[in-house]
Structure 1
Amino acid sequence: MKGVSMQLSDITVVLPTLNEEKNIRNFLASLPNACHLILVDAGDDKTAEIVAQHRLPEFTQVLRLKSTISEARQIGAGLAKTEWLLFTDADVVLAPAYFHALSKYAEFDCIYGAKLSHTRFRRYYHWFAYGQRLSHKIGIPAASGSNLLVRRSIVTDVGGFDPELICNEDSELVWRIKRAGYRIAFAPDTPVYATDHRRLEKGTLRKTFHSVFRCSLLYCDLIPARWRKLDWGYWSHAQQGESSASAQD
């Protein structure tokens, strides 16, 4: 295996947002300035302005563009110039030793870690991460777009994110990377921590069923074509609620 360095300047963070002004400052505080950041903002609040105010312009690109999360991730990937792409979300913070721990996995082509919590739903996040570990051991990557590092060339090689999907686009991309023969690592020592639990507040059983059932259909290529553009109301309703709350603030 060839040795590959992983410096902060080699990484571009691709961040899709939709009305995340209450979360974005915490995320930015956990992100080193030396990392490049491409923000693709589909919202109508002050998220983009906050990013522009808090980040060095030479390491930051901000786009205001109405898009799905899959489209936003792909747009960011297409604009990036660095070797590595880190896909994540604005409602998390990176662990203090996150990038130091990532360097141990530089020989891999795709690395994904867990999403945990310092506050609410800690037990749920813990068991979900345990499920990721078990799934990885049996050969099925269980990646999350909250914590996913991929070589930019590989995203291009496998065709990028599926624009038909408006959720589970992260898992589906990594399955194609696996099937193409690239090396994938689950990195439990590179967690991110959730700062917003709005989807779990709708019910942990509902969240689990939605993830497992829909991902199972996608993985087995059994999902009907008309379902690929639907999220069954789960993500969009949470985002709409957030948008409405932001508009009232």
Structure 2
Amino acid sequence: MTETTPRVPSVAVVIPYGGGLDDLREQLTALAEQTWPHPYEVVISVNRGQPTPVHNLARHILPDHVTLTIADATDRPGCGHARNVGWRHTTADLILFCDTDDVVHPAWLTTMTHTLTEARIASGTLEYRKLNPPWKADLFDVFVDGLPVRFRHLPYGAGGNCGIRRDLLAELGGFDERLPYTEDVDLYWRAAYAGAATAYAADAVVHVRLRGSQRDLFRQRYRYGRDDIPLYQAHQPHGARVTATDMARELAAAVKSLVTAPLGARQRTRCAMRWGTLLGSAHGLLEKRPRAM
């Protein structure tokens, strides 16, 4: 009896691009050095800027066994939109997502692909020390034993370190573009409702590049906090909840960060992040926005 060799799944890596050729060069170099021994595809979904410089850079860096696709996503701003346009430009079985300004570990593609042979959706480890000063990296949680949980609800992963089977992504309709900053959390949770629990691939490491200034980090956290409100509203019927204790704890942490802000750059950065989240959430509560699905 002749044994048949299992078919190697086709894999595409989707990168939403909103500018920053130098960062993209570093990410593409990391993708070119992946340990995955089979051909794969890189889809760069251009959300801002011109596609020609992106194409020329990528074709210069990526080896011949990597298929390059440039997708035009300039019709609407947003990372979720760029990701949706990107994955719809490929027919690959497995879709992996990473961001322009991060750097994937050499084993990232192999680890994520192997994880998706058993799971339907997965996320990995976010690492902060390689691309950032140690004092700033220490402000961010590194989940080495599992995935984070929000709103006392379900685990979720980051959109910049995401792997998902194409059939599941199509079933879910992709990312909800009405959630410009929490669309990744929403996707993982909707996958769980569909019976696909998120697998944690610890060795699928992405080195994250943090925003440079305190103002940039404040703005980023403000947007996340603002988007938390429609995210919570959409998933409250499924079990997401926030208690009075949770809110009191967040307020106390923000006040403490304000008191300690004069002590140094680390404390000022923490203060900017805390108050960005708090004020963004307050804005979201006052703003009438259509609920996500």
| Alignment-derived partner of residue 210 in structure 2 | 197
| Alignment-derived partner of residue 232 in structure 1 | none
After the TM superposition, which parts of structure 1 deviate over 4 Å for at least 4 consecutive aligned residues?
A: 203-210, 222-225
Contact 1:199 1:207 survives alignment (8 Å): no
Contact 2:40 2:67 survives alignment (8 Å): yes
Give runs of aligned pairs for residues 65-214 of structure 1, distance below 5 A: 65-66=73-74, 67-68=76-77, 69-102=79-112, 103-104=114-115, 106-117=117-128, 118-120=130-132, 121-125=136-140, 127-129=141-143, 133-135=147-149, 140-194=154-208, 196-198=209-211, 201-202=214-215, 207=220, 211=224, 214=227
The amino acid across from 1:22 in the alignment is D
Task: Give the secondary-structure state (helix, strand or coil) at the position aligned to 1:135.
Answer: coil
2:47 is aligned with 1:42:
yes
Instruction: State which drifts further: 146-155 or 198-207.
Output: 198-207
- Mark the CA change 1:58 to 1:131 in structure 2 (over 3 Å): closer, same or farther: closer
The amino acid across from 1:108 in the alignment is A
Structure of higher CA gyration radius: 2
Instruction: State which drifts further: 152-161 or 63-72.
Output: 63-72
Task: Give the secondary-structure state (helix, strand or coil) at the position aligned to 1:61.
Answer: strand
Give how far 1:158 is off: 1.3
- Mark the CA change 1:58 to 1:23 in structure 2 (over 3 Å): closer, same or farther: closer
Task: Give the secondary-structure state (helix, strand or coil) at the position aligned to 2:31.
Answer: coil
Task: Give the aligned length.
Answer: 221
Q: Which runs of 5+ in 2 are unaligned?
A: 1-5, 237-283
Give how far 1:171 is off: 1.4
Identical pairs, percent: 20
The amino acid across from 2:54 in the alignment is T
Mapped partners of 2:66, 2:107: distance in 1: 24
- Mark the CA change 1:129 to 1:147 in structure 2 (over 3 Å): closer, same or farther: same
CA deviations over 1:175-229 (Å, ceiling 9, x no partner): 11111111321222211002x3226743767755754673364044277662779
| Alignment-derived partner of residue 215 in structure 1 | 228
Q: Which runs of 5+ in 1 are unaligned?
A: 230-249
The amino acid across from 1:75 in the alignment is V
Task: Give the secondary-structure state (helix, strand or coil) at the position aligned to 1:188.
Answer: strand
The amino acid across from 1:49 in the alignment is N
Structure number with the bigger relative contact order (C-alpha 8 A, sep ≥ 6) is 1
Contact 1:20 1:47 survives alignment (8 Å): no
TM-score by length of 2: 0.64
TM-score by length of 1: 0.74
| Alignment-derived partner of residue 237 in structure 1 | none
Contact 2:115 2:201 survives alignment (8 Å): no
